[in-house]
Amino acid sequence: MKLIMTCKIPDELMNPIKEKYEVVTVESDHALMSRKRLLGEIVDADGLFTNVADHIDEELFEQAKKLKVISTMAVGYDNIDLQEAKKRGILIGHTPGVLTEATADLTFALLMATGRRVKEGADAIQNNEWKGWLPFYLTGQEIYGKTIGIIGMGRIGVGVARRARGFSMNILYHNRSKNEEAEKDLGATYVELDQLLKKSDYVVLLAPSTKETYRMMSTAQFQLMKKSAVFINTSRGSNVDEDALYEALQSGEIWAAGLDVFENEPISANHKLLQLNNVTALPHIGSAAIETRMNMARLALENLVNGLEGRPLVHQVI
Ligand SMILES: NC(=O)c1ccc[n+]([C@@H]2O[C@H](COP(=O)([O-])OP(=O)(O)OC[C@H]3O[C@@H](n4cnc5c(N)ncnc54)[C@H](O)[C@@H]3O)[C@@H](O)[C@H]2O)c1
Ligand SMILES: O=C(O)[C@H](O)CO
Protein backbone atom coordinates (compact mmCIF):
# COMPACT_ATOMS: atom_id res chain seq x y z
CA MET A 1 0.00 0.00 0.00
CA LYS A 2 1.12 3.55 -0.67
CA LEU A 3 1.20 6.21 2.05
CA ILE A 4 1.76 9.91 1.58
CA MET A 5 3.25 11.92 4.42
CA THR A 6 3.14 15.65 3.69
CA CYS A 7 5.74 16.32 6.40
CA LYS A 8 8.70 14.36 7.73
CA ILE A 9 8.73 12.81 11.18
CA PRO A 10 11.77 11.30 12.97
CA ASP A 11 13.29 8.13 11.47
CA GLU A 12 12.66 6.10 14.64
CA LEU A 13 8.92 6.47 13.96
CA MET A 14 9.12 6.42 10.17
CA ASN A 15 11.44 3.42 9.60
CA PRO A 16 9.08 0.66 10.85
CA ILE A 17 6.38 2.11 8.59
CA LYS A 18 8.72 2.12 5.58
CA GLU A 19 9.31 -1.61 6.08
CA LYS A 20 5.62 -2.35 5.51
CA TYR A 21 4.46 0.39 3.14
CA GLU A 22 5.65 2.41 0.19
CA VAL A 23 6.08 5.85 1.79
CA VAL A 24 6.19 9.04 -0.26
CA THR A 25 7.32 12.10 1.69
CA VAL A 26 9.39 15.29 1.51
CA GLU A 27 13.21 15.33 1.65
CA SER A 28 13.68 17.93 4.40
CA ASP A 29 12.49 18.26 8.00
CA HIS A 30 11.79 21.91 7.24
CA ALA A 31 9.51 21.54 4.25
CA LEU A 32 5.92 20.55 3.63
CA MET A 33 4.83 18.72 0.48
CA SER A 34 3.72 21.16 -2.21
CA ARG A 35 0.04 21.17 -3.14
CA LYS A 36 0.98 20.25 -6.71
CA ARG A 37 2.97 17.20 -5.65
CA LEU A 38 0.28 16.13 -3.18
CA LEU A 39 -2.41 16.29 -5.88
CA GLY A 40 -0.22 14.18 -8.14
CA GLU A 41 0.76 11.57 -5.54
CA ILE A 42 -2.73 11.20 -4.02
CA VAL A 43 -4.10 9.51 -7.19
CA ASP A 44 -2.98 5.99 -6.20
CA ALA A 45 -2.42 6.48 -2.44
CA ASP A 46 -4.16 4.31 0.18
CA GLY A 47 -3.35 6.52 3.17
CA LEU A 48 -2.53 10.17 3.87
CA PHE A 49 -0.61 11.51 6.89
CA THR A 50 -1.37 15.23 7.02
CA ASN A 51 -1.34 18.26 9.33
CA VAL A 52 -3.00 21.66 9.81
CA ALA A 53 -1.18 23.24 6.87
CA ASP A 54 -2.74 21.07 4.13
CA HIS A 55 -6.14 21.81 2.57
CA ILE A 56 -7.91 18.50 2.24
CA ASP A 57 -10.72 19.70 0.01
CA GLU A 58 -13.01 18.54 -2.77
CA GLU A 59 -10.30 18.97 -5.43
CA LEU A 60 -8.05 16.58 -3.52
CA PHE A 61 -10.81 14.04 -2.90
CA GLU A 62 -11.66 14.10 -6.64
CA GLN A 63 -8.08 13.06 -7.43
CA ALA A 64 -7.86 10.34 -4.78
CA LYS A 65 -9.04 7.11 -6.36
CA LYS A 66 -7.90 4.62 -3.70
CA LEU A 67 -7.73 6.66 -0.49
CA LYS A 68 -9.04 4.85 2.61
CA VAL A 69 -7.68 6.78 5.61
CA ILE A 70 -6.58 10.35 6.35
CA SER A 71 -4.72 10.89 9.59
CA THR A 72 -3.93 14.40 10.76
CA MET A 73 -1.17 15.14 13.28
CA ALA A 74 -3.43 17.64 15.07
CA VAL A 75 -6.52 17.77 17.23
CA GLY A 76 -8.19 20.36 14.97
CA TYR A 77 -9.53 19.05 11.65
CA ASP A 78 -11.17 22.16 10.23
CA ASN A 79 -8.81 21.95 7.20
CA ILE A 80 -10.47 18.67 6.14
CA ASP A 81 -13.76 18.60 4.22
CA LEU A 82 -15.57 16.02 6.34
CA GLN A 83 -18.63 15.88 4.10
CA GLU A 84 -16.54 14.91 1.08
CA ALA A 85 -14.68 12.31 3.14
CA LYS A 86 -17.94 10.84 4.43
CA LYS A 87 -19.44 10.69 0.95
CA ARG A 88 -16.49 8.58 -0.13
CA GLY A 89 -16.29 6.41 3.01
CA ILE A 90 -12.82 7.71 3.90
CA LEU A 91 -11.89 7.47 7.59
CA ILE A 92 -10.43 10.52 9.39
CA GLY A 93 -8.18 10.26 12.47
CA HIS A 94 -6.82 13.03 14.73
CA THR A 95 -4.71 13.45 17.90
CA PRO A 96 -6.70 14.83 20.86
CA GLY A 97 -5.39 14.65 24.42
CA VAL A 98 -1.66 14.16 23.85
CA LEU A 99 -1.20 17.88 23.14
CA THR A 100 -3.53 19.27 25.79
CA GLU A 101 -0.96 20.16 28.46
CA ALA A 102 1.67 21.53 26.06
CA THR A 103 -0.93 23.76 24.39
CA ALA A 104 -2.28 24.92 27.75
CA ASP A 105 1.33 25.75 28.79
CA LEU A 106 1.90 27.81 25.65
CA THR A 107 -1.47 29.56 26.01
CA PHE A 108 -0.63 30.58 29.56
CA ALA A 109 2.91 31.59 28.52
CA LEU A 110 1.40 33.81 25.81
CA LEU A 111 -1.07 35.28 28.30
CA MET A 112 1.76 36.17 30.68
CA ALA A 113 4.06 37.45 27.93
CA THR A 114 1.31 39.67 26.52
CA GLY A 115 0.07 40.97 29.87
CA ARG A 116 3.61 41.81 31.03
CA ARG A 117 4.99 43.04 27.67
CA VAL A 118 7.78 40.45 27.56
CA LYS A 119 8.44 40.82 23.82
CA GLU A 120 8.66 44.61 24.01
CA GLY A 121 11.13 44.31 26.91
CA ALA A 122 13.31 41.76 25.11
CA ASP A 123 13.25 43.89 21.94
CA ALA A 124 14.20 47.03 23.89
CA ILE A 125 17.34 45.35 25.22
CA GLN A 126 18.18 43.82 21.84
CA ASN A 127 17.79 47.20 20.09
CA ASN A 128 19.87 49.04 22.72
CA GLU A 129 16.85 51.16 23.70
CA TRP A 130 16.93 50.52 27.47
CA LYS A 131 17.69 53.80 29.23
CA GLY A 132 17.63 52.44 32.77
CA TRP A 133 15.00 51.86 35.45
CA LEU A 134 12.01 54.21 35.23
CA PRO A 135 8.90 54.14 37.41
CA PHE A 136 6.40 53.40 34.66
CA TYR A 137 8.62 51.97 31.93
CA LEU A 138 6.99 48.98 30.15
CA THR A 139 4.34 48.60 32.82
CA GLY A 140 1.86 45.84 32.02
CA GLN A 141 -1.21 44.25 33.56
CA GLU A 142 -1.16 42.16 36.73
CA ILE A 143 -2.08 38.51 36.31
CA TYR A 144 -2.28 37.07 39.83
CA GLY A 145 -5.83 37.31 41.20
CA LYS A 146 -7.33 38.76 37.99
CA THR A 147 -10.35 37.39 36.08
CA ILE A 148 -9.82 35.04 33.16
CA GLY A 149 -12.61 34.25 30.70
CA ILE A 150 -12.18 31.05 28.72
CA ILE A 151 -14.24 30.62 25.56
CA GLY A 152 -14.30 26.89 24.76
CA MET A 153 -13.94 24.96 28.02
CA GLY A 154 -12.83 21.67 26.48
CA ARG A 155 -9.59 19.75 27.08
CA ILE A 156 -7.20 22.68 26.56
CA GLY A 157 -9.57 25.23 28.10
CA VAL A 158 -9.65 23.14 31.30
CA GLY A 159 -5.84 22.89 31.16
CA VAL A 160 -5.61 26.69 31.03
CA ALA A 161 -8.14 26.98 33.89
CA ARG A 162 -5.97 24.68 36.03
CA ARG A 163 -2.98 26.93 35.42
CA ALA A 164 -5.09 30.04 36.14
CA ARG A 165 -6.13 28.54 39.45
CA GLY A 166 -2.46 28.43 40.45
CA PHE A 167 -2.46 32.19 39.94
CA SER A 168 -5.57 32.62 42.12
CA MET A 169 -7.53 33.87 39.13
CA ASN A 170 -11.29 34.14 39.11
CA ILE A 171 -12.33 31.74 36.31
CA LEU A 172 -15.28 32.47 34.01
CA TYR A 173 -16.05 30.32 31.01
CA HIS A 174 -18.38 30.09 28.05
CA ASN A 175 -18.97 26.80 26.25
CA ARG A 176 -21.61 25.05 24.15
CA SER A 177 -22.66 23.20 27.30
CA LYS A 178 -21.83 23.54 30.98
CA ASN A 179 -18.70 21.78 32.19
CA GLU A 180 -19.85 20.57 35.63
CA GLU A 181 -16.45 19.02 36.41
CA ALA A 182 -14.60 22.30 35.80
CA GLU A 183 -17.15 24.07 37.99
CA LYS A 184 -16.72 21.58 40.84
CA ASP A 185 -12.96 20.99 40.62
CA LEU A 186 -11.72 24.41 39.54
CA GLY A 187 -14.43 26.76 40.78
CA ALA A 188 -15.09 27.93 37.22
CA THR A 189 -18.33 29.86 36.62
CA TYR A 190 -20.41 29.52 33.43
CA VAL A 191 -21.52 32.85 31.94
CA GLU A 192 -23.01 34.01 28.64
CA LEU A 193 -20.44 35.26 26.15
CA ASP A 194 -21.33 38.94 26.59
CA GLN A 195 -20.89 38.70 30.36
CA LEU A 196 -17.55 36.93 29.95
CA LEU A 197 -16.31 39.66 27.61
CA LYS A 198 -17.46 42.46 29.93
CA LYS A 199 -16.00 41.00 33.11
CA SER A 200 -12.70 39.39 32.08
CA ASP A 201 -9.23 40.89 32.35
CA TYR A 202 -7.93 38.11 30.10
CA VAL A 203 -10.13 36.59 27.38
CA VAL A 204 -8.77 33.30 26.08
CA LEU A 205 -10.25 31.75 22.93
CA LEU A 206 -10.03 27.95 22.72
CA ALA A 207 -13.08 26.90 20.72
CA PRO A 208 -12.61 24.89 17.51
CA SER A 209 -13.06 26.41 14.07
CA THR A 210 -16.61 25.67 12.90
CA LYS A 211 -19.39 27.47 11.01
CA GLU A 212 -20.65 28.80 14.38
CA THR A 213 -17.26 30.07 15.59
CA TYR A 214 -16.25 31.75 12.30
CA ARG A 215 -15.23 35.32 13.26
CA MET A 216 -17.06 34.96 16.58
CA MET A 217 -14.73 37.67 17.91
CA SER A 218 -15.50 40.81 15.92
CA THR A 219 -16.15 44.54 16.50
CA ALA A 220 -19.17 44.09 18.80
CA GLN A 221 -17.32 41.56 20.96
CA PHE A 222 -14.14 43.67 21.29
CA GLN A 223 -16.31 46.68 22.20
CA LEU A 224 -17.73 44.76 25.16
CA MET A 225 -14.26 44.03 26.56
CA LYS A 226 -12.54 46.24 29.14
CA LYS A 227 -10.05 48.78 27.77
CA SER A 228 -7.44 47.14 30.00
CA ALA A 229 -8.26 43.61 28.75
CA VAL A 230 -5.88 41.22 27.02
CA PHE A 231 -7.14 38.90 24.26
CA ILE A 232 -5.40 35.56 23.67
CA ASN A 233 -6.11 33.29 20.71
CA THR A 234 -4.54 29.83 20.50
CA SER A 235 -7.49 28.22 18.69
CA ARG A 236 -7.77 29.12 15.00
CA GLY A 237 -7.29 32.44 13.19
CA SER A 238 -10.65 32.16 11.42
CA ASN A 239 -12.42 32.47 14.79
CA VAL A 240 -11.38 36.13 14.86
CA ASP A 241 -12.19 39.03 12.53
CA GLU A 242 -8.60 40.26 12.18
CA ASP A 243 -9.62 43.70 10.83
CA ALA A 244 -11.86 44.23 13.85
CA LEU A 245 -9.08 43.08 16.17
CA TYR A 246 -6.66 45.51 14.55
CA GLU A 247 -9.12 48.39 15.03
CA ALA A 248 -9.75 47.43 18.67
CA LEU A 249 -6.01 47.28 19.42
CA GLN A 250 -5.18 50.48 17.58
CA SER A 251 -8.01 52.53 19.03
CA GLY A 252 -7.39 51.34 22.59
CA GLU A 253 -10.72 49.50 22.74
CA ILE A 254 -8.69 46.61 24.20
CA TRP A 255 -5.20 46.72 25.70
CA ALA A 256 -3.25 43.96 23.96
CA ALA A 257 -3.46 40.64 22.12
CA GLY A 258 -1.41 37.45 22.13
CA LEU A 259 -1.89 35.39 18.98
CA ASP A 260 -0.53 31.95 18.08
CA VAL A 261 -2.85 31.47 15.07
CA PHE A 262 -3.90 33.55 12.07
CA GLU A 263 -6.51 33.39 9.33
CA ASN A 264 -3.77 32.96 6.69
CA GLU A 265 -0.71 31.05 7.83
CA PRO A 266 2.16 31.70 7.61
CA ILE A 267 1.30 35.36 8.29
CA SER A 268 3.52 37.87 6.47
CA ALA A 269 5.78 40.14 8.56
CA ASN A 270 4.08 43.04 6.72
CA HIS A 271 0.64 42.14 8.11
CA LYS A 272 -0.88 45.17 9.84
CA LEU A 273 -1.41 43.30 13.13
CA LEU A 274 2.33 42.70 13.37
CA GLN A 275 3.06 46.44 13.15
CA LEU A 276 1.37 47.01 16.54
CA ASN A 277 3.46 47.08 19.74
CA ASN A 278 0.57 45.64 21.72
CA VAL A 279 0.53 42.38 19.72
CA THR A 280 2.61 39.39 20.77
CA ALA A 281 2.59 36.95 17.88
CA LEU A 282 3.82 33.37 17.67
CA PRO A 283 4.01 30.99 14.68
CA HIS A 284 1.34 28.38 15.61
CA ILE A 285 3.53 26.60 18.18
CA GLY A 286 0.87 25.70 20.75
CA SER A 287 1.73 22.01 20.75
CA ALA A 288 5.40 22.40 19.83
CA ALA A 289 7.10 20.59 22.71
CA ILE A 290 9.40 17.73 21.68
CA GLU A 291 7.67 14.97 23.69
CA THR A 292 4.26 16.25 22.60
CA ARG A 293 5.10 16.30 18.90
CA MET A 294 6.55 12.75 19.21
CA ASN A 295 3.33 11.60 20.87
CA MET A 296 1.20 13.32 18.23
CA ALA A 297 3.20 11.70 15.42
CA ARG A 298 2.99 8.27 17.13
CA LEU A 299 -0.77 8.57 17.59
CA ALA A 300 -1.34 9.84 14.05
CA LEU A 301 0.63 6.88 12.67
CA GLU A 302 -1.33 4.46 14.81
CA ASN A 303 -4.60 5.92 13.51
CA LEU A 304 -3.36 5.59 9.94
CA VAL A 305 -2.07 2.02 10.20
CA ASN A 306 -5.11 0.85 12.16
CA GLY A 307 -7.42 2.24 9.49
CA LEU A 308 -5.45 0.63 6.66
CA GLU A 309 -5.36 -2.72 8.43
CA GLY A 310 -9.06 -2.76 9.27
CA ARG A 311 -8.75 -2.03 13.01
CA PRO A 312 -10.60 0.81 14.77
CA LEU A 313 -8.76 4.14 14.80
CA VAL A 314 -7.62 5.24 18.27
CA HIS A 315 -9.25 8.65 17.74
CA GLN A 316 -11.63 8.74 14.81
CA VAL A 317 -13.41 11.93 13.68
CA ILE A 318 -15.61 10.09 11.17
N1 LIG B 1 -2.39 26.74 18.76
C2 LIG B 1 -2.20 25.45 18.64
O3 LIG B 1 -1.12 24.97 18.29
C4 LIG B 1 -3.32 24.51 18.96
C5 LIG B 1 -3.02 23.26 19.51
C6 LIG B 1 -4.07 22.40 19.80
C7 LIG B 1 -5.38 22.80 19.57
N8 LIG B 1 -5.63 24.01 19.02
C9 LIG B 1 -7.02 24.44 18.80
O10 LIG B 1 -7.71 24.34 20.04
C11 LIG B 1 -8.99 23.79 19.80
C12 LIG B 1 -9.49 23.14 21.06
O13 LIG B 1 -8.82 21.92 21.33
P14 LIG B 1 -9.36 20.93 22.48
O15 LIG B 1 -8.53 19.71 22.43
O16 LIG B 1 -9.50 21.69 23.76
O17 LIG B 1 -10.81 20.62 21.90
P18 LIG B 1 -12.14 20.25 22.71
O19 LIG B 1 -13.07 19.71 21.70
O20 LIG B 1 -11.80 19.42 23.90
O21 LIG B 1 -12.64 21.67 23.27
C22 LIG B 1 -13.31 22.61 22.50
C23 LIG B 1 -14.44 23.19 23.32
O24 LIG B 1 -15.03 24.27 22.59
C25 LIG B 1 -16.43 24.19 22.80
N26 LIG B 1 -17.14 24.91 21.73
C27 LIG B 1 -17.43 24.49 20.48
N28 LIG B 1 -18.13 25.43 19.82
C29 LIG B 1 -18.27 26.47 20.68
C30 LIG B 1 -18.91 27.73 20.60
N31 LIG B 1 -19.55 28.11 19.48
N32 LIG B 1 -18.86 28.56 21.67
C33 LIG B 1 -18.25 28.15 22.79
N34 LIG B 1 -17.62 26.96 22.94
C35 LIG B 1 -17.64 26.13 21.90
C36 LIG B 1 -16.74 22.71 22.83
O37 LIG B 1 -17.98 22.46 23.48
C38 LIG B 1 -15.55 22.17 23.60
O39 LIG B 1 -15.81 22.15 25.00
C40 LIG B 1 -8.78 22.85 18.61
O41 LIG B 1 -9.97 22.65 17.91
C42 LIG B 1 -7.76 23.59 17.78
O43 LIG B 1 -8.40 24.44 16.86
C44 LIG B 1 -4.62 24.86 18.70
O1 LIG C 1 -5.08 21.49 16.11
C2 LIG C 1 -3.93 21.28 16.48
O3 LIG C 1 -3.55 20.20 16.95
C4 LIG C 1 -2.90 22.38 16.39
O5 LIG C 1 -3.30 23.47 15.72
C6 LIG C 1 -1.54 21.91 16.03
O7 LIG C 1 -1.05 21.19 17.12
User: Mean pLDDT throughout 250-255?
Assistant: 98
DSSP state, 80?
A: B
The pLDDT, as a whole number, for residue 292 is 99
**CB of 186 closer than 8 Å to CB of 171:** yes
DSSP H helical segments within 142-192, as ranges? 155-166, 180-186
Which residue's CA is minimally distant from atom 2 of ligand 2? 74
Q: Which ligand is nearest to the CA of 51?
A: 2
What atom of ligand 1 comes closest to residue 158's alpha carbon?
16
Strand order in the sheet with 202-205: 189-190, 170-174, 147-151, 202-205, 230-233, 256-259, 279-281
The pLDDT, as a whole number, for residue 234 is 99
Question: Which of the four pLDDT bands, split at 50, 70 and 90, describes residue 242?
Answer: very high
Percent of the chain with pLDDT over 90: 100
Average pLDDT, the chain: 98
The pLDDT, as a whole number, for residue 196 is 99
pLDDT tens digits, 137-153: 999 999 999 999 999 99
User: Mean pLDDT throughout 205-209?
Assistant: 98
The pLDDT, as a whole number, for residue 52 is 98
Centre of ligand 2 to C-alpha 197, Å, is: 25
User: Mean pLDDT throughout 248-273?
Assistant: 98
Which residue's CA is minimally distant from atom 3 of ligand 2? 74
Binding site membership of 232 for ligand 1 (Cβ less than 6 Å) = no
- Spatial CB neighbours of 126, under 8 Å, sequence gap ≥ 6: none
Q: How many Cα atoms sit within 13 Å of 9 on the Cβ side?
A: 28
User: Do the bridges between strand 91-93 and strand 147-151 make them parallel or antiparallel, or are there none, so unpaired?
Assistant: unpaired
Binding site membership of 209 for ligand 1 (Cβ less than 6 Å) = yes
CATH superfamily of 100-281: NAD(P)-binding Rossmann-like Domain (3.40.50.720)
pLDDT tens digits, 155-199: 999 999 999 999 999 999 999 999 999 999 999 999 999 999 999
The CA distance from 237 to 214, in Å, is: 9
Binding site membership of 201 for ligand 1 (Cβ less than 6 Å) = no
**CB of 104 closer than 8 Å to CB of 156:** yes
User: Mean pLDDT throughout 214-240?
Assistant: 99
The CA distance from 162 to 104, in Å, is: 9
| Domain ranges, ordered by start, for the chain | 2-97+290-308, 100-281
pTM of the model: 0.98
pLDDT tens digits, 19-72: 999 999 999 999 999 999 999 999 999 999 999 999 999 999 999 999 999 999
Query: Could you give phi then psi for residue 280, rounded to 5 degrees?
Result: -110, 120
- Pocket (CB within 6 angstroms of ligand 2): 52, 74-76, 99, 286-287
**CB of 283 closer than 8 Å to CB of 266:** yes
The interface predicted TM-score of the complex, written ipTM, equals: 0.99
Q: Tell me, rounded to whole angstroms, the distance of Cα 48 from its chain centroid.
A: 21
Centre of ligand 2 to C-alpha 81, Å, is: 17
Mutate which of 6, 7, 75 for ligand 2? The one with the most ligand atoms within 8 Å of its CB, which is: 75
pLDDT tens digits, 81-97: 999 999 999 999 999 99
pLDDT tens digits, 114-139: 999 999 999 999 999 999 999 999 99
Fold agreement between 2-97+290-308 and 100-281 = yes
The pLDDT, as a whole number, for residue 165 is 98
Percent of the chain with pLDDT over 70: 100
Is CATH 3.30.460.10 correct for 2-97+290-308? no
Among residues 197, 188, 189, 187, the alpha carbon closest in space to that of 217 is found at: 197
Helix (H) / strand (E) containing 248: helix 242-251
- Which neighbouring-strand residues pair with 204? 150, 232
- By annotation, the residues acting in catalysis are 236, 265, 284
Among residues 311, 307, 303, 305, the alpha carbon closest in space to that of 98 is found at: 303
Residue type, 26: V
